[in-house]
Amino acid sequence: MKCVLFYHAFSSCWNNGNAHFVRGVARELASLGHQVVVYEPGDGWSRSNALADGGADALVEVTELFADVEIRVYEPTLDLDEALDGADLVLVHEWNPPELIAEIGRRRLSGSFVALFHDTHHRAVTAPDEMARFELDGFDGVLAFGEALRQIYQQRGWARRAFTWHEAADTALYHPLPDVARTDDLVWIGNWGDGERSAELAEFLIGPVAALGLRAAIHGVRYSREALSAIKAAGIAYRGWLPAHRVPEAFAAAHVTVHVPRAPYAKALPGIPTIRMFEAMACGIPLVSAPWDDAEGLFPDGSYLKARTGREMQDVLRTLLADPDLATDISAAGLQVIAERHSCRHRALELLTLTENIRGRQARPTRLEEAHL
pLDDT digits (tens, 9 = 90+) for 222-240: 999 999 999 999 999 999 9
Identify whether 76 is preceded by a cis peptide bond (ω within 30 of 0).
yes
Average pLDDT of span 95-99: 95
CA angle, residues 35, 39, 42, in degrees to nearest 5: 145
d(CA 125, CA 285): 32
CA angle, residues 235, 238, 244, in degrees to nearest 5: 140
Which runs of consecutive H residues, i.e. helices, occur in the chain?
18-31, 45-52, 56-65, 80-84, 98-109, 123-126, 128-132, 147-155, 198-201, 207-212, 225-233, 247-252, 263, 275-283, 310-322, 324-341, 344-360
What would the CATH number be for the domain defined by 184-341?
3.40.50.2000
Model pLDDT for residues 339-362, shown as the tens digit of each residue: 999 999 999 999 999 999 999 873
Task: Give the residue among 130, 169, 197 at the shortest CA–CA distance from 281.
Answer: 169
Confidence of residue 89 (pLDDT cuts 50, 70, 90): very high
Neighbour-count burial of 329, counting CB atoms closer than 10 A to its CB (0-12 exposed, 13-18 middle, 19+ buried) = middle
Task: Report which residue type is found at 218.
Answer: I
pLDDT (0 to 100) of residue 343: 98
Cβ–Cβ under 8 Å, residues 77 and 103: no
Confidence of residue 368 (pLDDT cuts 50, 70, 90): very low
pLDDT (0 to 100) of residue 76: 83
pLDDT (0 to 100) of residue 373: 66
Q: Which CATH class is domain 2-168+343-370?
A: alpha beta
Model pLDDT for residues 19-72, shown as the tens digit of each residue: 999 999 999 999 999 999 999 999 999 999 999 998 899 999 999 999 999 999
Mean pLDDT over each residue of the chain, to the nearest integer: 94
- Does 194 score more than 90 pLDDT? no
Share of the chain above pLDDT 90, in %: 89
- Does 372 score more than 60 pLDDT? no
Asked if 2-168+343-370 and 184-341 have one fold, the answer is yes
- Does 364 score more than 70 pLDDT? no
pLDDT (0 to 100) of residue 219: 97
pLDDT (0 to 100) of residue 77: 87
Model pLDDT for residues 165-183, shown as the tens digit of each residue: 999 999 999 999 999 999 9
Domain ranges for the chain:
2-168+343-370, 184-341
- pTM, rounded to two decimals: 0.94
Contacts of 92 (CB under 8 A, 6+ apart): 6, 100, 101, 104, 115, 116, 117, 118, 139
Task: Give the residue among 32, 33, 37 at the shortest CA–CA distance from 3.
Answer: 37
